[in-house]
Amino acid sequence: MNSWEKAYRKTDNLWGDRVDRSLIEYSSLLNDGDPVLDLGMGEGRNAHYFAAKGHPVTGVDYSSSAVRRCQELCIESGFEMETIVADMTQFPVPSSSYSLIIISNVLNFFHPDEIQRIIQKAISGLVVGGMIYIQAFNRNDPAYARNEKMAKKVDQGTFYREKNDTYIHFFTLDSLLDYFTGFEVLVVTESYRLDLTHGEPHHHGIIEMLVRKQAG
Ligand SMILES: C[S@@+](CC[C@H](N)C(=O)[O-])C[C@H]1O[C@@H](n2cnc3c(N)ncnc32)[C@H](O)[C@@H]1O
């Protein structure tokens, strides 16, 4: 059992129900019925927002407990969404299919080669005019310094954590923007924020980005 599944089994509603603010602010760029994909959706705090607005939403996560909780919340709230238990590194994103793809707080947990493949898949899954939303930790995140002391450094931003056989990568803004050459940049921010959503209050160094695919 992976560490995410263990965490979801310990508590209900691990990440709370606060929707990422930029998604609310820019949701008016979507037309009624535009399809949305949330990769690594957790219990679906962002996915639910769009499902409640009537968008066809697909949410993917490899924790079956998170996906079950997401479906329970849909039933409680009276809306529908498609939920899939799958590893997002293997999940085949259909090409030119989505108007919004959300990858929030999950892209850090891969080797850079996998990150590249996930982003390429997401880009090809977008319709022209479609948007990708990413929230990810940058190198100001306190976990970067902790990993420098405790984990094996693979490259400048990447660590291998032997204990659970996983990688963690911390982005720079430029390295993330590089994937989206030719895209319109709608939102790009870096911040150092207090996180009160889970566990003891703690801080994160965060990059938030919303980009839109252009024709051609
Ligand atoms: C920090 S949580 C974020 C959840 C959600 N995106 C949010 O912002 O509330 C990271 C999520 O990514 C999922 N995840 C991690 N690696 C994954 C993978 N390879 N395939 C699918 N889901 C994965 C975990 O199960 C977990 O639900």
Specify whether the CB–CB gap between 127 and 213 falls below 8 A.
yes
In one-letter notation, the amino acid at residue 43 is E
Specify whether the CB–CB gap between 171 and 138 falls below 8 A.
yes
Q: What sign for the dihedral angle of Cα 88, 137, 21, 202?
A: positive
Specify whether the CB–CB gap between 30 and 55 falls below 8 A.
yes
Would you state the pLDDT for residue 216? 74
User: % helix / strand / coil in the chain, to the nearest 5?
Assistant: 35, 30, 35
Specify whether the CB–CB gap between 117 and 179 falls below 8 A.
no
What secondary structure letter does DSSP report for 142? H
Spatial separation of the C-alpha atoms in residues 69 and 103, rounded to whole Å: 19
pLDDT tens digits, one per residue of 160-178: 999 888 999 999 999 999 9
- Is residue 158 in contact with ligand 1, taking CB distance under 6 Å? no
Would you state the pLDDT for residue 96? 98
Q: Name the pLDDT band for 198 (thresholds 50, 70, 90).
A: confident
Protein residue with its CA nearest to atom 20 in ligand 1: 87
- Is residue 110 in contact with ligand 1, taking CB distance under 6 Å? no
Compute the distance from residue 20 Cα to the ligand 1 centre, in Å: 15
Give the domain ranges of the chain: 3-13+20-136+172-194+204-212
pLDDT tens digits, one per residue of 67-120: 999 999 999 999 999 999 999 999 999 999 999 999 999 999 999 999 999 999
Q: Which of 111-125, 137-151, 192-206 has the lowest mean pLDDT?
A: 192-206
**For a substitution probing ligand 1, which of 2, 8, 57, 61 has the most ligand atoms within 8 Å of its CB?**
61
Is domain 3-13+20-136+172-194+204-212 given the CATH code 3.40.50.300 in the classification? no
pLDDT tens digits, one per residue of 1-55: 888 999 899 888 888 889 999 999 999 999 999 999 999 999 999 999 999 999 9
Would you state the pLDDT for residue 89? 97
- Is residue 106 in contact with ligand 1, taking CB distance under 6 Å? yes
Angle CA 123–45–194, to nearest 5: 95
- Is residue 170 in contact with ligand 1, taking CB distance under 6 Å? no
